[in-house]
């Protein structure tokens, strides 16, 4: 069965600092991996996704993520965080014939001025 672990429930960074949100997955084959962002009281928006090819994927809002098969990880990064990045971030894994990804519990990002 597929699963996702986001080990950090909360992350606090200062505005302008770099960011890395961790995501570890369990999947028997090559996974499809996703990062979503949820602003308070809103739905989830897809930031980026990985299916194959280049293991470093670029997304919207200046985010990127790197797929590391050896570590079963798909960490999300941003070189300089803006106050508007404060939100909940969800990692998800899917694949094969399943249309239903498995979501992590989410990481809440707090940005200090």
Partner 1 sequence: SQTIHQWPATLVQPVGSPLSLECTVEGTSNPNLYWYRQAAGRGLQLLFYSVGIGQISSEVPQNLSASRPQDRQFILSSKKLLLSDSGFYLCAWSVDVYGYTFGSGTRLTVV
> Under the rule (CB under 8 A), what is the footprint of partner 1?
32, 34, 36, 41-46, 49, 51, 90, 94-101, 103-106
Query: Taking phi first (over 0 means left), then psi (-120 to 50 degrees means alpha), and beta for anything else, what does residue 66 get?
Result: beta
- Cα 91-79-57 angle, rounded to 5 deg: 50
Nearer Cβ to partner 1 (32/63): 32
Judged by DSSP in three states, 61 sits in helix
CB of 18 to partner 1, least distance (A): 26
Q: Give min distance, CB of 20 to partner 1, in A.
A: 20
| CA gap 26, 47 in Å, rounded | 21
Nearer to partner 1, 44 or 111 (CB): 44
C-beta of 91: minimal distance to partner 1 in Å?
10
């Amino acid at each position: 069965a597929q699963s996702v672990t986001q080990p950090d429930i909360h992350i606090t960074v200062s505005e302008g600092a770099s960011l890395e949100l961790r995501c570890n997955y369990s999947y028997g084959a090559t996974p499809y991996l996703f990062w979503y962002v949820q602003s308070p009281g809103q739905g989830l928006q897809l930031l980026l996704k990985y299916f194959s090819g280049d293991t470093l994927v670029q997304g919207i809002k200046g985010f990127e993520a790197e797929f590391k098969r050896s570590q079963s990880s798909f960490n999300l990064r941003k070189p300089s965080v803006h106050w508007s990045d404060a939100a909940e971030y969800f990692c998800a894994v899917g694949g094969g014939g399943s249309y239903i990804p498995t979501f992590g519990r989410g990481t809440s990002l707090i940005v200090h001025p």
